A and B are shown apart, each in its own frame.
Chain A
């Protein structure tokens, strides 16, 4: 479980998060939704200790992220931020190989190589394993980063807009894979999603944020309602049902 207690965060003089207290349950696929600038990415980055906590307390499975050694956390959670360019020239297999670093610290064993191969296979990258990162498309690169995160083999996966650059089939494939990790491998996933319908279709738990605060949380059918979403995004939204899951109509 991730526990947030009174978390505030400022960048310069701008308040990004105000007094966030929440619990993100273990063994669930949790989607973090909300409009641009709601503070979703910041919250995810704080949990993933990519930013240091300014005020409040964040614990992941009882470990305080500000106190626990980073190397210990790297075996508990894998966090994938939005991509920035890498200066090294890496092959996809090498990038994915880095996901195993927390387990071998520079001395890969057979088990690490096998995990890399599996991750490449899972994300359909085996044929591209020897290609350089700057020689593949944005979507393929995104899948390589996801494969690296997957190879890290942690209890928690924190993903910031992983659907960026992915086409329909890979986006659906990724959500199905995440859902499968939760249900079959007992992992916990926290994912920032922009397209609410992916949250509606796959998430077990939804946290909705606006202007640095949590405005709603709970099961998809409780959070994804006309009123809540219209208020959240400041635009009229209709919610209907499709095969027992909410379907959000917001595009016309």
Chain B
């Protein structure tokens, strides 16, 4: 009976139980990342380099983890991620179009801050137009929205493929470098801005967390309980758009060419499996922490043990995928 008197209590206990060890693990792995094999000479230089990469990874991790959970809540579906909706293809198309129109030299000549802002702006704008028109008309038909998104994704990808066949091979190499996720590319001058934008979005998502719990009941349930459904859906998708754009513009698309296509999916799946709670106040930080742990540990294995011999995505997929399967088979993910 005591259990029933406080129906929210079990979830809360579980929450503290999982956030703390994940945070501790992240502290340890971050420290390892920063200080392992530092050597004698040029310590300051190497540390600064590593810190920037670490910052990039944290920003991307928070963005991927939080945006995937948010997106899945809106879609009412645990298999969809923003990258399936064509976000990443859109970014790649944008890069290719820029190289095609400006030429390789012109592309390299754009200052990083205006380029970053323009990319984030355009991505957000296009995402808003895409979702706005789709949700404006049939806001109750999430399934159709998503299907349309997938078709747009394929369209962006095809348009990009077409463009990359038309441009000259040297320019294509530039595009390819710009569209493969690379934490080494993290631009120190952009990091503070990207991290701040990301932190604001995560904070907003946390403020919305109780309403997101209700949103997860589906449209009818949410409206019955007095939620302004459409406004909340659009606000949530807006956050997703900003988060994905920021992280993509910072380091490149997580999921386009590398096998890391399922990074968001793996992170969200593991978060649901470990958090064992429906509460977004728990799910969101857990997802961000899991993503950060996977990225930092994966990057460490990739750089320091495998000597950059393989793609980062392979490491992520291998370790993350195995853990995902383990949780799936144990019945902790449904």
Contacts and interface: CB of A to CB of B under 8 A. Distances in A.
Interface of A: 48-50, 69-75, 78-81, 84-91, 93-94, 96-99, 101-102, 105-106, 108, 113-114, 116-117, 120, 126, 129-130, 134, 152
A73 B225 CA distance: 9
A71 B228 CA distance: 8
A108 to B, nearest CB: 6
Interface stretch (B33-41, B58-66, B71-79): B71-79
A167 to B, nearest CB: 24
Interface in B41-61: none
Given A84-B218, A101-B214, A74 B77 contact: no
Given A70-B229, A87-B73, 14 more contacts: A50-B223, A70-B227, A71-B226, A71-B228, A86-B76, A87-B77, A88-B216, A90-B278, A93-B7, A94-B11, A98-B217, A102-B226, A126-B4, A130-B4
A84 B210 contact: no
B227 A88 contact: no
B272 A89 contact: yes
Interface in B205-231: 210-211, 213-214, 216-221, 223-229
Contact of B226 (A74, A81, A117): A74
B226 A89 contact: no
B317 to A, nearest CB: 24
Contacts, number: 101
Contacts of A72: 226
22 contacts: A49-B223, A70-B223, A71-B227, A74-B225, A75-B226, A79-B220, A85-B76, A86-B216, A88-B278, A89-B272, A89-B276, A96-B7, A97-B8, A98-B221, A102-B226, A106-B210, A106-B211, A113-B6, A114-B5, A117-B5, A126-B4, A129-B7
Contacts of B6: 113
B137 interface: no
B13 to A, nearest CB: 13
Given A89-B278, A93-B7, A134-B334, A80 B77 contact: no
Contacts of A129: 3-4, 7
B206 to A, nearest CB: 12
A87 B7 contact: no
Chain B interface extent, by class = 20 to 34
A88 B217 contact: yes
A96 B8 CA distance: 11
Given A84-B218, A86-B216, A101-B214, A91 B224 contact: no
Interface string B221-253: 101111111000000000000000000000000
Contacts of A116: 4, 7
A86 B225 contact: no
Contacts of A106: 210-211, 213
A86 B7 CA distance: 19
A73 B218 CA distance: 18
A101 B216 contact: no
Nearest to B334: A89
B10 interface: yes
A91 B7 contact: yes
B71 to A, nearest CB: 12
Given A88-B216, A88-B217, A89-B334, A113 B7 contact: yes
Closest 8 CB pairs of A and B: A74-B226, A106-B210, A93-B7, A71-B226, A88-B278, A88-B216, A81-B220, A101-B225
A102 B222 CA distance: 10
B279 to A, nearest CB: 9
Nearest to A107: B210
A197 to B, nearest CB: 28
Given A86-B216, A86-B218, A101-B214, A113 B278 contact: no
A80 B224 contact: yes
Contacts of B221: 86, 98
Contacts of B272: 89
A108 B226 contact: no
B8 A98 contact: no
| Centre residue among B7, B211, B223, B278 by max chain A CB count within 10 A | B7
A144 B229 CA distance: 23
Contacts of B210: 105-106
Contacts of A130: 3-4, 10
Contacts of A120: 4
B72 to A, nearest CB: 7
A49 B216 CA distance: 19
Given A117-B4, A134-B334, A86 B217 contact: yes
Contacts of A99: 225
A232 to B, nearest CB: 28
B225 A98 contact: yes
Nearest to B6: A113
A89 B214 CA distance: 12
Contacts of B211: 106
B226 A87 contact: no
Nearest to B228: A70
A96 B217 CA distance: 12
B7 A102 contact: no
| Centre residue among A50, A88, A102, A108 by max chain B CB count within 10 A | A88
A87 B72 contact: yes
A94 B7 contact: yes
